[in-house]
Amino acid sequence: MKNIRALHIASFNGNIGDNANHNGFRNRLNETLDCEIEYDEIEIREFYQSWNIRDFNRSEFINLCNRYDLVIIGGGNFFELKWDYSYTGTTINISKESLNKIDTPILFNGVGCDTAKGASENAISKFGYFLETITRDNKYLVSVRNDGSYDTIKKLYGEKYSDKIYRVPDGAFFLETKKFNFPELNNNLKSIGINIVSDMTDIRFNKDLEDGIEYYDFINGLSKELNTFLKVYSDYQIILFPHIYSDLKAISNLLEKIDDRYRRNRIVIAPCLTGPGSDEYIFGLYKECELILGMRFHSNVCSIAQNIPTIALSSYKKIIDLYKELNVSDRVIKVNKEGFQKELREELKYTIKNKEDIKLRYRMINENVKNESNDFYKRVREWTKENSLG
């Protein structure tokens, strides 16, 4: 297969999980197509109204796309149905007329479809029309990631697109990390990694729901459990992992409630990094941990992908859906519900005692994930040939 010049539009300087996604996806794509792929990148935020740098519908963007062999959009949560201003109801605000002017094949790769933040009837209607356009023309290939996105589309539109859209494992399942001389590690202590978040607290935490608690109830409850854990397990340290700048607020809130003796001696904060290569460091550091407690989607994906035992700290439907699709729902704790502390305490003890069994279970999951992805990547290879890329 000849070499390919690809224009990749996604998040590259936002959440480090996105970088892990691209890392693994590109590994898998290179393996599938068996050729050199040269990537030029555009940050998706340049199209956001808040940044207002680029426009999907300007001739500048259309002409740029037509200078490449392939355009890739995703992965990322770009099929979020909350943008009424958009032609598609999503972040990808492109009209049918603009799409028709782009001759280059477009791969919508592992995109998340999400209605958790709300979805108007207008946005749902626009998105349906967009899906109709991009699933009936072989110039496009569409896939959504395994976080419940496929089921979301089925709930919105029935079986209409079931055989036209691929459900594909998030690219981060195939990431590759590197081993560095990590200054965060203490040779005298074992490490547990924790990722907590402070964004979307109005969605994640709602005291008005049955057994619901507020964000600061979660912080207080988690800090008490960690203080107890560090007292009982004197041979462990905790590494706190921010995936995006707003996670630093959650880390600060948590540290305020931690016993100062532990805070100064047995808790470390990993650097907040973004951009290419940052994922190799951060998730390489993950690999040095015996256990990960993660709230973010990619905190869980990148741990499972590396056979690291996890306890999912769920405050958002996406995490529940991920573990359900992987058939490991028993590894999830709903930390936005009363009584999560006792469940966490017991799960920590169980996981430390049975970590080798959990690793084995994750190895089997990763074998299945790789096998399940084969149909999609086989189709990608066929599709590139059909579009004269091979």
pLDDT for residue 274 is more than 80: yes
190-353 belongs to which homologous superfamily? Glycogen Phosphorylase B; (3.40.50.2000)
Q: Which percentage of the chain shows pLDDT scores above 90?
A: 89
Tell me the pTM: 0.92
| Res 390: pLDDT | 66
pLDDT, tens digit, 9 for 90 and up, residues 22-40: 999 999 999 999 889 999 9
Residue 270 CA to residue 375 CA, distance in Å, equals: 37
Q: Over the range 65-84, which residues count as b (16 or more CB within 10 Å of their CB) and which as e?
A: beebbbbbbbbbbbbbbbbe
- What are 373's two structure tokens? 């992805």
Q: CA nearest 340: which of 207, 222, 206, 216? A: 222
Sign, Cα dihedral of 14, 15, 20, 22: negative
Question: How many angstroms separate the Cα of 269 from the Cα of each of 182, 183, 288?
Answer: 12, 11, 14
User: pLDDT, tens digit, for every residue of 320-358?
Assistant: 999 999 999 999 999 999 999 999 999 999 999 999 999
What span, in angstroms and rounded, lies between the C-alpha atoms of 141 and 118?
Answer: 26
Q: Which two tokens stand for residue 164?
A: 């036209």
Residue 351: which residues within 8 A CB-CB, separation 6 or more? 291, 309, 311, 358
Residues of the chain with CATH 3.40.50.2000: 190-353
* Integer Cα distance of 387 and 106 in angstroms: 10
Beta-bridge partners for 108: 73, 142
Mean pLDDT score of the chain = 95
**pLDDT for position 1:** 64
Residue 114 has pLDDT above 90, yes or no: no
Tens-place pLDDT, residues 221-268: 999 999 999 999 999 999 999 999 999 999 999 999 999 999 999 999
Class of domain 4-175+369-386: alpha beta
Per-residue pLDDT tens digits for 372-385: 999 999 999 999 99
pLDDT, one tens digit per residue, over 60-101 is: 999 999 999 999 999 888 999 989 999 999 999 999 999 999
Q: How far apart (Å, rounded) are the C-alpha atoms in residues 46 and 196?
A: 27
Contact present, 379 and 166 (Cβ < 8 Å): yes
Instruction: State the Cα–Cα distance between residues 334 and 336, nearest whole angstrom.
Output: 5
Q: Which residues pair with 5 in a beta bridge?
A: 38
Q: How confident is the model at residue 14 (pLDDT cuts 50, 70, 90)?
A: confident
